[in-house]
Amino acid sequence: YHKEKSIQIKNSASALNNLGVLRIAPHRLTYFTVVHANVVNMVSASWDGLNYSHRELQSKEPNVATSTSLIMQAAFCVLPSRDLLVVTSQKGIQMYESDGSIMVYWHALDSPETPTGRPFSPEGISAVWENYICVGVSSGALLVFDVPNKGSNITLSEVLEEHKEAITDLASECSGSQECSADLVSADGGNLCVWKISGEEFQLLNKISGSDMSCSSVKLWKGAVVAGYGTGQIRIYEAVTGILHAEINAHARWIYSLDIAPFSGLLLSAAEDSLVRVWHLSMTPESNSVEVAHLHNECVTDTQICGAKFCDGDGHAFAVTGYDLSEILRYTRT
């Protein structure tokens, strides 16, 4: 991979696991989102690199003129019938059309102080199957929203209360196959819960203990859970059985972000050690094993990396954000 021209943003990145990427192939555009305090910076970039348009989304609350509520996360949720941008703040969950133009749904969150003194804040957003968007909150609950093909009649259909600690990340099966063994994985401080949709309900398939290691990022690909930890390790588990396939000492410091390019099996990891690494995962169903190869290393000097994401399903390019960095760094395969 080689470095491309960066994309300037209005404000720097201020939260972790902090980069959203959505490719709009018919218009040859890519949308990027970066969270700064109570604002989501949104950039629409044309593929030829000539046109950029910027938009800022405030953390809104109904009937309040200005909100100072901190935004925790912004993520694009791709469903077969529509794409939505989901923004979570301490006060609630907002869902926008993917270009940020119209807010279609607002879900208020009560904000009791949790026993740890932390506010009741959401973390972890994922689209699941054809019509669900799941959001994790700091009580450990998973909120499941049912999203219609169009319009704003979005409903909270289920609350899953399996985790006892704050949710840190969520991921749905990204290979595109509905025949997969698991549909969703959720992570709290140390445990992973694996879920399968049965009928219209989410059922717990398996619980994987992280043996007191703090899990910061998860992905689900071809029935395998890929989890990044505060120790700098990446672990790959079989989702249904919890069998540990591989353990990689990937980074020297805390892993902040993982991403998978579902068509190629490339894995991106970014950590506090200022390194972004690209790996290749290959599954061998006959022997029920996973092989991992290290392909590329990128050192983003003097930068605390906040987020890293592939820009396409093949992993041809990836983007990186850094704390107090007012640009999005881009790298393309040579």
Q: What is the CATH number of the domain that holds 241?
A: 2.130.10.10
- Buried (b) or exposed (e) across 313-330, using 16+ Cβ within 10 A? eebebbbbbbbebbbbbb
The CA distance from 183 to 252, in Å, is 31
pLDDT at position 329 over 90: yes
CA distances from 114 to 111, 136, 194 (A): 8, 15, 25
Name the residue among 281, 259, 265, 263 with its Cα closest to residue 331.
Answer: 259
CA distances from 49 to 4, 229, 318, 330 (A): 10, 35, 15, 11
- The answer to whether the beta carbons of residues 216 and 272 sit under 8 Å apart is no
Binned at pLDDT 50, 70 and 90, residue 200 comes out as confident
Quick one: pLDDT at residue 288?
Answer: 77
Which has more pLDDT, 179 or 218?
A: 218
Comparing 7-16, 279-288, 312-321, which segment has the lowest mean pLDDT?
7-16
Q: What is the pLDDT of residues 87-119, one digit of tens each?
A: 998 889 999 999 999 999 999 987 654 444 444
% of the chain at pLDDT higher than 70: 91
Quick one: pLDDT at residue 334?
Answer: 87
Quick one: pLDDT at residue 113?
Answer: 45
Residue 70: inside a domain, yes or no? yes
Residue 159: inside a domain, yes or no? yes
Residue 115: inside a domain, yes or no? no
The whole-model pTM stands at 0.92
Instruction: For residue 75, give its domain range.
Output: 2-108+124-332
Instruction: Indicate the average pLDDT of the chain.
Output: 90
Structure tokens at 268: 């991106």
Binned at pLDDT 50, 70 and 90, residue 287 comes out as confident
Q: What dihedral do alpha carbons 77, 277, 294, 21 form, nearest 10°? A: 20
Amino acid at 233: Q
Name the DSSP letter for residue 102. Answer: -
The CA distance from 231 to 246, in Å, is 15
Task: Tally the domains of the chain.
Answer: 1
Residue 113: inside a domain, yes or no? no
Residue 135: inside a domain, yes or no? yes
Structure tokens at 281: 């995962």
Residue 202: inside a domain, yes or no? yes
Residue 117: inside a domain, yes or no? no
Residue 116: inside a domain, yes or no? no
Quick one: pLDDT at residue 117?
Answer: 42
Comparing 31-45, 77-91, 104-118, 216-230, which segment has the lowest mean pLDDT?
104-118
